[in-house]
Amino acid sequence: MQFDMEALEQLCRERGMELETMLDAVANGLVSAYKRSPGAAEEARVTIDADTGDVVVYGQELDEDGNVTREWEDTPTDFGRIAATTFKQVFQQRTREAKREQVFDIYQGRESELVTGMIQQVDHRYSMLDLGDAEAIMPSSERIPYERLERGARVKALILEVREEGKGAPIVVSRSHPDFIRKLFELEVPEITEGIVEIRGLAREAGHRTKVAVHSNDRQVDAVGACVGARGSRVRQVVNELRGEKIDLCEWQEDPKKYIAEALSPVKGIRDVIIDEEEKKAVVIVPDNQLSLAIGKDGQNARLSARMTGYGIEIRPESNPDGIKPDEAPKDEEAAATPAAATEEVVAEAPTEEPTPEAAPEAGPETADETPPAEQEAAPPEETPEDAPDEAAEEAIDAAEEVAPVEASEATPEADAPEIDEPVDEPEPDTTEAAAEGEPVEEEAGA
Asked if pLDDT for residue 331 goes beyond 80, the answer is no
Residue 229: left if φ>0, alpha if ψ -120 to 50, beta else—which one? left
Strands 281-286 and 312-317: parallel
First to last CA, the chain: 156
At residue 292, the 3 state secondary structure works out as helix
Residue 112 to residue 322: CA distance in whole angstroms = 45
Q: In 10 A of CB 254, how many CB atoms?
A: 8
- Average pLDDT for 120-138: 89
Exposure pattern of 289-299 as b/e (b: 16+ CB <10 Å)? ebbebbbbeee
What is the residue-averaged pLDDT of the chain? 76
Q: Which of 101-105, 128-132, 152-156 has the lowest mean pLDDT?
A: 101-105
Nearest to 136 by CA among 238, 13, 94, 110: 110
Asked if pLDDT for residue 21 goes beyond 60, the answer is yes
Residues in the chain: 447
Domains of the chain listed by start with CATH number: 5-106 (3.30.1480.10), 109-173 (2.40.50.140), 177-252 (3.30.300.20), 262-325 (3.30.300.20)
pTM reported for the whole predicted model: 0.62
Which amino acid appears at position 12 of this protein?
Answer: C
Residue 412 to residue 392: CA distance in whole angstroms = 11
Report whether 151 contacts 118 (CB < 8 A): no
At residue 120, the 3 state secondary structure works out as strand
Is it true that the peptide bond before 321 is cis, omega within 30 degrees of 0? Answer: no
Q: What is the pLDDT of residue 178?
A: 94
Residue 250 to residue 264: CA distance in whole angstroms = 9
Q: What is the pLDDT of residues 227-252, one digit of tens each?
A: 999 999 999 999 999 988 999 999 99
Q: What is the pLDDT of residues 69-89, one digit of tens each?
A: 888 887 877 776 777 787 778
What Rg, from alpha-carbon coordinates, does the chain have?
52
Band (380; pLDDT cuts 50, 70, 90): very low
- The backbone torsions φ and ψ at residue 384, rounded to the nearest 5 degrees and listed phi first, read -115, 165
Band (326; pLDDT cuts 50, 70, 90): low
CA distances 441 to 387, 411, 424, 426, 447, Å, are 13, 17, 21, 16, 19
- Average pLDDT for 10-34: 82
Q: What is the pLDDT of residues 161-207, one digit of tens each?
A: 998 776 767 899 999 999 999 999 999 999 999 999 999 999 999 99
Share of residues in the chain with pLDDT > 90 (%)? 38
